[in-house]
Amino acid sequence: MPLSPSAAPAAQSLPARPHVPLVPVLSGASFRPVRGQRLSSVLDAAHVRLVTSGRIALALALRELGVGAGDSVLLPAYHSLSMVPPVLWLDAAPLFYRVDGGARADLDDIAALCRPGVKALVATHYFGFPQDLAALRALCDAHGIALIEDCAHAFFGEYTGRPLGSHGDYAIASSMKFFPMYEGGALVSARHALDRVVLRSAGKGFEAKVVLNTLEHSFRYGRLPALKALLALPMRAKDQLWRRIKSSRPAAAAAAGGLAPASSDSDFSFDTRWLDKRSSLFARVLLRRVSAGRIVALRRRHYQRLQAAVAGLPGCRPLHAALPDGVCPWLFPLVVDDAEAAFARIRQLGLPVVRFAETLWPGVDAARCPDSAHLSRHVLAFPCHQELSAQELDWMCARLAEVLAP
Ligand SMILES: Cc1ncc(COP(=O)(O)O)c(C=O)c1O
């Protein structure tokens, strides 16, 4: 998953710290139901195709819309680099629209950019918070443009009582950001059948790699200890075999590296080989079996803990003043005045952090959108996912307060 995790080792003098997972890791608790209100998900749409990433879903949505050479697609100036190649793949041109300081789509700028040849608008629900879908829908309808909801950060959520993802012509999601799984994305539509999107299995090697990587990632963070012990011998044998293959048959090892999409490994690239591939059986089973109620309830609770931890600290403010009902956050985004100094300290402490949109597409700068340029430099976003233990969260909150204290 393309993130900018903190990767620096802990400073020598610091006390032992927990190894906190940046993204959800599979644990026994992942399946535990929780009581509470259920929140809709993008999968509640009538038509669903499960693919391996959000960017593949975006490319398929654009292809379904018939986007091609000479067309333009409106993308937010505050974006992930992975959102642009699907547009270029279809020989269309991205047109970057402005967002404001709260990462809300700038409706006036969008209206000014709506000219002949513009086929679609991609609206991103950053960090899980919905855009003004009523206004965007009206704007798109008035200009005959398709609306694609980018729910990469908003797998769960509602807007005016309806699921996120059901307001657009199409919506895309990145399930691996919310579920403890190695790969996963979705293309959905409440309006159009997806009969032309035909997917096939990516093969046994892919299926095996997804299971192994999901489990190994979980073991690395101390989860599923009994299963880890049970699989210790076969895992060791697998590692030895793998080392032997790498040294004796580097070409075979390189081919095995391509068994899963690079989108699963902190990479922004776009690989067309995954356009017709279904998400793995393991990921599809996890989507059904992992407790959705727990994801929503704990993400909201953890977000509020982080928000409380930084409340009143100078030089920073949450991107959103409150967490409204109906929102299931991806991360806790904090706008920090001296973000570079804080980031350096955060890396030193080993706190997990994401700098979403840290690099913008060439040509998208402060002249095109001052607020995007500002957000890209000043937002530090912290995990609030459901698999953080109470101890990990306590540690994160304490260190964060320490970093940001005057
Ligand atoms: C806003 C946004 N849209 C789309 C994507 C693409 O999702 P994926 O990484 O699943 O391809 C990302 C990835 O980070 C994203 O942040």
pLDDT tens-place string over residues 281-327: 999 999 999 999 999 999 999 999 999 999 999 999 999 999 999 99
In single-letter form, the type of residue at position 145 comes to I
Q: Is the pLDDT of residue 255 over 80?
A: no
| Whether residue 152 has its Cβ less than 6 Å from ligand 1 | yes
Q: Which residues contact 254 (CB under 8 A, 6 or more apart)?
A: none
For 193-233, how does the pLDDT look when each residue is reduced to its tens digit (9 = 90+)?
999 999 999 999 999 999 999 999 999 999 999 999 999 99
CA 235–ligand 1 middle distance (angstroms): 31
Phi and psi at residue 10, to the nearest 5°: -65, 150
CA of 52 to the centre of ligand 1 (A): 11
CA of 387 from ligand 1 middle (Å) equals 21
What is the spatial distance between Cα 18 and Cα 187, in angstroms, rounded to a whole number?
A: 36
Which numeric CATH code is attached to 42-189?
3.40.640.10
Q: Rounded to whole angstroms, how far apart are CA atoms 149 and 309?
A: 32
Quote the CATH superfamily of domain 28-35+291-404.
Answer: Aspartate Aminotransferase, domain 1 (3.90.1150.10)
- Is the pTM higher than 0.75? yes
Contact 157, 164 (CB under 8 A): yes
CA distance linking residue 79 with residue 318, whole number of Å: 19
Residue type, 273: R
| % the chain with pLDDT above 90 | 86
CA 371 → CA 34, 218, 364, distances in Å? 39, 37, 11
pLDDT at 35: 83
Confidence grade of residue 267 (pLDDT, cut at 50, 70, 90)? confident
Integer CA distances (angstroms), 232 to 211, 219, 227, 239, in order: 15, 10, 8, 11
Domain ranges (residues) in the chain: 28-35+291-404, 42-189, 204-272
Number of H helices and number of E strands within the chain?
13, 12
Contact between 162 and 240 under an 8 Å Cβ cutoff? The reply is: no
Cα radius of gyration (the chain): 21
Average pLDDT over residues 97-115: 98
**Which of 80, 85, 156, 94 is closest to 124 using CA atoms?**
80
Question: Among residues 126, 131, 188, 122, which one has the least CA distance to residue 153?
Answer: 126
**307 ligand 1 Cβ < 6 A:** no
Task: Please give the Cα distance from 87 to 58 (Å, whole number).
Answer: 8
Residues facing residue 354 across a β-bridge = 381
What's the CA gap between 131 and 105, in Å, rounded? 7
Residue 183 CB less than 6 A away from ligand 1: no
Q: Kindly report, residue by residue over 32-83, the tens digit of the pLDDT.
A: 999 877 899 999 999 999 999 999 999 999 999 999 999 999 999 999 999 9
Q: Is the pLDDT of residue 189 over 80?
A: yes
Do the domains spanning 28-35+291-404 and 42-189 agree at the CATH topology level? no
Identify the DSSP state of 210. Answer: H
Distance CA 329, CA 87 (A): 27
Q: Is the CB of 185 under 6 A from ligand 1?
A: yes
Q: How far away, in angstroms, is 80 Cα from ligand 1 center?
A: 6
- CA quadruple 59, 62, 63, 67: dihedral, nearest 10: -130
* 316 alpha-carbon distance from chain centroid: 23
Asked whether the predicted pLDDT for residue 10 surpasses 60, the reply is: no
Under DSSP, the state recorded for 262 is G
Nearest in space to 305 (alpha carbons), one of 404, 379, 382:
382
Q: What angle do CA 278, 282, 286 make, to 5 degrees?
A: 110
Could you give the CA distance from residue 27 to residue 311 in angstroms, rounded to a whole number? 31
Strand boundaries in 190-336, DSSP class E: 316-318, 331-336
Contact at 8 Å (CB) between 328 and 39? Answer: yes
Atom of ligand 1 nearest to the CA of 83: 4
The answer to whether 333 and 306 have CB atoms below 8 angstroms apart is no
CA of 346 to the centre of ligand 1 (A): 24
Task: Name the strands in the sheet holding 316-318, side by side, starting at the edge strand that comes first in the sequence.
Answer: 316-318, 331-336, 379-383
Kindly give the pairing relationship between strand 93-97 and strand 72-76: parallel
What is the residue type of 291?
S
